[in-house]
Amino acid sequence: MNLSIKQLFGRKPKSSNIAKQRLKLVITQDRVDVDDRFMTRLHHELAEVLAKYFEFSANSVKMNLKQEGNSYILVADFPYTKFHDMSMRR
């Protein structure tokens, strides 16, 4: 917003603003750029919890980080064959 108003008046955007915008983008990226070990651990722990509720084969699971605009989304596919009836457990 700030930038476009200034551009209307024909002024160059301040380089400090450019630095801030560029940094914000790259740091968001750095923060989600998690390593494989982290993803494997997350995968195992999620599978452990979900196994209480669903039946699924471990090799059908897919986990990915997706970028949409400026935000990042964790997408996890756990295709299940059936769910455990929790009411039976009690």
69 CB-near residues (< 8 Å, 6+ apart): none
Compute the distance between CA of residue 72 and CA of residue 25 in angstroms, rounded to an integer. 11
The SS3 call for residue 13 is coil
Candidates 16-24, 49-57, 66-74, 77-85; binding stretch for another protein (CB under 8 A):
16-24
Per CB under 8 A, 71 contacts another protein? no
Per CB under 8 A, 36 contacts another protein? no
Phi, psi of 81 (to 5 degrees): -95, -40
Q: Provide the token pair at 39.
A: 């993803």
Between 40 and 60, name the residue whose CB sits nearer to another protein.
40
CB of 71 to another protein, least distance (A): 16
Candidates 12-20, 41-49, 54-62, 76-84; binding stretch for another protein (CB under 8 A):
12-20
